[in-house]
Chains A and B, each alone.
Chain A
Amino acid sequence: MVIENKAEVLDKDNRYLRLKNSQGKSVSIVREVYRRENIPCQSSLCLEDCNVGTDDFDLLPSNVTHYIIPDCQVAREYLEVFEAPEIHGIIFTQTAEHCIQYEGSKNHHNRLKRLVKDKTKGAVIFHNEFQKYAYCDRESGESHSDWQSRSTFKAAEWFFNHLAGQLPVVMVTNNDKVIEEYGSKIINVHVMKVEEYLQTFWKQANTALMDLYESLTASVQSKTKKKGYSGYLPTDVLEAGLKTGRYIQGHMNVNKSNASEEAFVRRKREESKEDSGSDILIHGMSSRNRAVHGDVVVVELLSRSEWKGRSNVIKETTESTSEPKLSKDDEESEDNGDIMPTGYVVGITQRNWREYVATFAEDEKTGQKGGKVLVIPWDYRIPKIRISTRQVEKLKDHRIIVRIDSWDIDSQYPNGHFIRSLGKIGELETEISAILIENSISVPPFSDAQMKELPIDTPEHPWKIEDVELKKRRDLRDSHLIFSIDPKGCEDVDDTLSVRHLKNGNIELGVHIADVTHFVKPGFLTDQEAKKRSTTVYLADRRYDMLPGILSANLCSLISGVDRYAVSVIWELDSKYEVVDVWYGKTIIRSQYKLFYELAQLVHDGASQTEIVDNVPELQDLSGEQLVTKIDELILAVNQLMTIARHLKRKRVRGGALELESVEVQVQLSETKSVEDLTPKDHMEIHDTIAECMIFANHWVAKKIAETFSQCALLRHHPLPRDHQFGNLKSCAEVKGFSVDINSNKTLAESLDKCVDPGDSIVNKLLRTLATQAMSNAAYFSTGSLPNNQFFHYGLALDLYTHFTSPIRRYADVIVHRQLMAAVEAADKLEIPGNKELSELSDHINQKHRASQYAQRDSQELFQCLYFKGKDSNDDCCIVDAVIFQLRNNGVYVFIPRYGIKGPVYLRSKDGQVIHVQPQAEPEWTGGTIQRTDHSIIVNNMYGSQTYTLLDHITVRISLKDSRAHSLSVRLELLYNTPHISVSQQDEMAKKQKAAIIKEVSEAAEESRLAIVSHDLGANFDKLKEEYGQTSTKHSLYHMFESFKETALKTS
């Protein structure tokens, strides 16, 4: 008697799969497999209802000419070909996935998963082994690979029949026998080779694909035997070793300025709890054993007698630094500092290879066709990569993207392949895209499909508040005086404020944030794209938005005088400014005033009526009594707000909040993308006021979501700094006789406040900068992934913190908005990602944030260098004052307040000569010695001795160090050991100077760019650019971001 276990699933099949599994002994085990008829085919062409009940029923697009089914071998070796954006409609069989999973690396499998997850790609995994009719049994005597190809073909056949022949199916293989056997079996189920396939279908579309294929083939084929490096230990040995503590696992970090010799392995966090937590030095290329910067490696420590210290010499980075040196330096013992644990790599857990920007060496021979060429990566930390390409001649002056495929044991360099070219070296666009690629930032223009999801707001079809929403939301339009304070000319206002007195004598403070989540629902393409980007990226001359312009600058922007959706946090505060009650929820608001910082400060300081009216467009139509009441109302609100913020801040500072400094330049760009001017960063109290209100809102939202979602709330924490990071700060402070107490954030804040040299305003600033550097980075996390005692925010001295106030610019805020709404409205809980998903997401966001910061820094450096490019080395702007903040054995690191540049100044040249400076003349290089003490460096030579102490002012000359393969950098040379001009003078000039730099460079670039582009697009260019131009400058956003960063630096 046979009974089906569930009435609704009658088509279950129960066959047995016999596997041989060897774990020491060979054991035969039986596993059951259930097959069914209704495996979702995931195609939008499906005629049967096999996709009902699955959420992704139309992953395979219908607008392709054919579907591709790669066989196991092709899927494993040529996965990258399928990653090309133009290839859609790929079906990976379960058989192929298993093959990749068991025979390929974990990284490889993850890439496949990512490819399938990417909904724009139209790639799916089809569970052919679970489908009753697509499956075939392995026959006795049939080899595994034969069975794999037969299964794949069967799946292809099934797919073709399932879709009733609507689309041809192409099975791609590299096995001639398979083509012979199945090639002509069924019409329109084609079987062909990868090469043939690419040539037939993608010839016109993309020659780069062909190139990619060729270099992949070359890297698959090139396998020769010759020993160079030692092999890696097998995985089980590594795992056992890690468990017993014999080996240590961590991330490989190559020292940027000494890439050929020094690398450090940062231990994984879990281990550092017990251990000292210090990094492990990997000295030399042979002990690094083919590990590349960023890989997760397993190292074994050397015996204590072989430990080395890290180099204390400033190394000059030249094009040859990536040359692996296997020999040791004689002098090194002299130049090295304290010895530290040293080890060598015995295995690699995970390769984190990404795409690298690289350049051909200048003297590259172009003789052989398709020969191997070494390219020099842009990143100093990456070794040269050997690629094979036939386009050396064509790409000689270009920056290209390459990817590493493998690093054979016998090879001095890793093998890779060419992907595409970025453009000519030295062009602004090339350099900018190099910066983006190097930081893994991808910013394609927003797609049409994405725009279709979004509401429309044109003069013909103006966007209106929907009635449904009107009923659901609390209406604050008439009851509250709401206003925003932002930098002048800001377009995307994501926060507004309100304050009023309640009848019971309490005060009501409200923070109203743009309701982005109303427009961007989970699962929308816009949401996916925003998640991918995670943040708006600001470069020195442009920005890449996270959300399309219709949202960021219009519908989500809380501009004055229009109705907008908002998410509000409203507190009731008693007379001592303690929170009595708090309300969270969706609202409709109409901001009454859009103020800017300077004006708001003016209002507070007591501006005259005419001054206010002149600057507030909203008031200009009014007159008489009405005007007076309106102004009084506004003044009252602003004053009230500042009083509240003052109290909130005082409370937080008492708790130990830090005020840190970082040198940032604030640039003001004009409509036509040139730097107009730079307002000196006047720090006004109103800045603090707004920042404080935002911190307050973030804090309370964090409280709410952490309470509701104890396991999956997205918060932001700032861990304790590591003590040893403060070494440099301490020694700098000691020079001036200050002491820095780092026991807690409170003592640190207090001791930093005391470090003021009345004669030198830079000192405090510099010390705060050093303190900022010593901090750990603040990061997002999911509450389920960390113990409760690590939730705190060190810098802000808060127990819980998150980001809630800028959903237009940061994806984390979007998630937090959703969580807050789910917490408050008790609906939509299903859409909240679980802990695992959320911690993956927070890692992703953290990574993207860091990348965007790096990209911004890189772009600023780029502009800096371009500025110095045309300058004469004795030009007035190249000779500047600098402050010493760190000592090395052959030089010092200085900080240039005027440009905010930090860099090394050499006191001893590479050939051992030391510098002697003399007033009114060029310095002279002579033989001599250098002596280093705790706080100073003494240079001895025949003229006498000169001393350089920490925090001394010296005069340096800035010149440009030209580089072909790497980013441009500036070189600093010592001129005099006396201050250049008075410090206060420079301080003021600094900002203006920086503006001049960017202005000049970007103007030049803009001109040349316009000249090219407008030629193509004709007279409409400006209009087109406005409509489609992703990076077109809405200048004010940038400005706003700068000020936000300022607050962020204080808050994080």
Chain B
Amino acid sequence: MAGLNLLSDQGFRIDGRKPNELRRIQCKLGVFKQADGSAYIEQGNTKVLATVYGPHEIRGSRAKLLLDRVLVNCQYSMATFSTGERKRRPRGDRKSQEMTMHLKQTFDAAIMTNLYPRSQIDIFVEVLQSDGGNYCASVNAATLALIDAGIPMKDFVCACSASFVNDNPIADINYLEESSGGPELIVATLPKSDQIVFLEQNSRLHEDNLSKVIDLAVKSCKDVYTVLDRTVRDHVSEVSNSHGWDH
């Protein structure tokens, strides 16, 4: 779109945010009772549902069994109604396969996999509505679902995207900003230990600016962490209250 002004001279983005501000995050743990763990997250208009099963015995082909650690099995899919145009999205398309791989790599690094050798954990992620930052929302949702399922992890995994517009890094980009052709940097971190478990970049970004963008993305991940952490604490206290446990 010609003349689209992603960042105004007064420092406002198209949707009214400042460069370093995240979209509103709303989330909830334990939305399903059947699954071992589940979570729902909204980051702006991106809405994702994640469910976790396991750890349980290996299902399907036993050839995938790992002797020393747990097998993390991920499945990412987008609902047909998740975008402006209704579109059938078969499970195995390349885009979801890639996303599935990325999720698997991310959680392989974060889950204490060596605690459950010869078993399997399933993570199912469904994007209900997509408005940019699908991967980030998926990771954040899956983290909450894993916590809900009580699976030991090294830390929360928080993900956030960032871009670079008019010499300014901007955090948590939405679909419009994503599709304008600028660079997109996606980071997933373990916020407490400041470790990056996943980093991906699309389109070109000059080396000199890279550190600025990474710094902002990492900082935004920490912001996401504070939100997720509060949700988890609230959830736990709510559950414990309803069970009548003393603190």
Contacts and interface: CB of A to CB of B under 8 A. Distances in A.
Interface of A: 1-7, 9, 12, 14, 16, 25, 27-36, 40, 54, 101-102, 106, 109, 113, 116-117, 125, 127, 129-130, 235, 710-711, 784, 834-837
Contacts of A33: 15-16
Given A127-B16, A710-B208, A711-B208, A32 B174 contact: yes
Contacts, number: 93
A7 B227 CA distance: 9
B223 A5 contact: yes
B16 A5 contact: no
Given A127-B12, A711-B208, A3 B23 contact: no
B167 A32 contact: no
B242 interface: no
B226 interface: yes
A31 B15 contact: yes
Interface string B1-32: 01101001111101111000111111110000
A835 B164 CA distance: 14
Contact of A32 (B28, B45, B230): B45
A33 B16 CA distance: 6
A5 B24 CA distance: 5
Contact of B21 (A9, A54, A837): A9
Nearest to A21: B84
A32 B129 CA distance: 13
Given A27-B84, A34-B16, A36-B16, A6 B21 contact: yes
A834 B209 CA distance: 11
Nearest to B172: A5
B22 A5 contact: yes
Interface of B: 2-3, 5, 8-12, 14-17, 21-28, 44-45, 84-85, 131, 166-167, 174, 176, 206, 208, 223-224, 226-227, 230-231, 234
Q: Is the interface of A mostly helix, strand, loop or mixed?
A: mixed
A101 B131 contact: no
Contacts of B17: 34
A837 B167 contact: yes
B22 A34 contact: no
Given A32-B44, A127-B8, A6 B84 contact: no
A548 to B, nearest CB: 28
Contacts of B223: 5-6
A130 B25 CA distance: 19
Contacts of B44: 14, 32
Given A1-B28, A9-B21, A125-B9, A30 B45 contact: yes
Nearest to B238: A1
Nearest to A30: B45
Given A3-B25, A16-B45, A34-B21, 11 more contacts: A1-B231, A3-B231, A5-B22, A12-B24, A30-B84, A32-B131, A36-B16, A101-B3, A117-B9, A710-B208, A836-B167
Given A129-B16, A837-B167, A113 B9 contact: yes
Nearest to A711: B208
Contacts of B85: 25, 27
A101 B5 contact: yes
A117 B176 CA distance: 26
A29 B83 CA distance: 8
A109 B131 contact: no
A130 B26 contact: no
B22 A32 contact: no
Contact of A34 (B15, B26, B206): B15
Contacts of A4: 24
Contacts of B230: 3
Contacts of B16: 33-36, 127, 129-130
Given A31-B15, A32-B45, A5 B25 contact: yes
Contacts of A12: 24
Contacts of A27: 84-85
Given A1-B231, A710-B208, A711-B208, A7 B84 contact: no
18 contacts: A1-B28, A2-B26, A3-B27, A3-B231, A3-B234, A6-B22, A6-B226, A12-B24, A16-B45, A30-B131, A31-B176, A33-B15, A35-B16, A106-B3, A125-B9, A127-B10, A127-B16, A784-B206
Contacts of B12: 127, 130
Nearest to B44: A32
Contacts of A35: 16
Nearest to A7: B226
A748 B84 CA distance: 64
Contacts of B234: 1, 3
A650 B227 CA distance: 69
Contacts of A7: 226
A32 B23 contact: yes
Given A34-B15, A34-B17, A3 B26 contact: yes
Contacts of A113: 9
Contacts of B15: 31-34
Q: 4 shortest A-B CB distances, which residue pairs?
A: A130-B16, A34-B16, A5-B25, A834-B167
Contacts of A127: 8, 10, 12, 16
B166 A836 contact: yes
A12 B44 CA distance: 12
B236 to A, nearest CB: 13
B9 A116 contact: yes
Contacts of A117: 9
A711 B167 CA distance: 12
Contacts of A129: 16
A218 B107 CA distance: 68
Contacts of A5: 22-25, 223-224, 227
A914 B35 CA distance: 103
Contacts of A784: 206
A2 B174 CA distance: 21
A3 B22 CA distance: 13
A1 B239 CA distance: 14
A3 B9 contact: no
